[in-house]
Amino acid sequence: MARALIIVDVQNDFTEGGALGVEGGAAVAAAITEHVRQHPDDYDVVIASRDWHDGDNDNGGHFAAGHDPDFVSTWPAHCVSGTDGAEYHDALDTGLIDIHVRKGQGVPAYSVFEGTTDDGRSIVSALDELDITEVDVVGIATDYCVRASALDALAAGRRVRVLTDLIAGVAPASSEAALRELSAAGAELVSTGA
């Protein structure tokens, strides 16, 4: 069996000081880097996603335009392509990443499975080509994009583990609810013990 690590949206706009900064985001970025360095043989491939939104439109209603965001389905502008906010956080060592995924690009997108690789492939195609049957999911934010990515990995027939000490959520209650939902859907919740 082959395993992938999927790193979800460890970007400047989702860490402290960013447009939608999550408390603990920078620490998660550093901890993910340390985890991969300490376990180089655990993964056959490391995949990382980034929100990569258009700067000249509302991205299919994803950005609140002319009204306040509801922080459920509409958001302040964030992770606009070509801006520092869209870049990976400095504590995430991008040299450890094998496949980069961009998602959004004009439409709302939460799951890494809604994105495409730099060469235009779907994530399912990339996983299939590498015979990946198991994925570990880490990153930001537990209650949104980590949740959606893990659920889609399960739907794509993969065995899924969420590494609970390598994620950060927007709010405690919604993050706990997301983890309960993932567990009920068949994901394994594990700590790396770091």
Residues known to be catalytic: 9, 103, 145
Provide DSSP, the chain. Answer: -EEEEEEE--BGGGSTTSTT--TTHHHHHHHHHHHHHH-TTS-SEEEEEEEEB-SSS-TTTTB--SS---SSS-B-S-SBTTSGGGSBPTTS-GGG-SEEEEEETTS---SGGGSEETTS--HHHHHHHTTEEEEEEEEE-IIIIIHHHHHHHHHTT-EEEEEEEEEE-S-HHHHHHHHHHHHHHTPEEE----
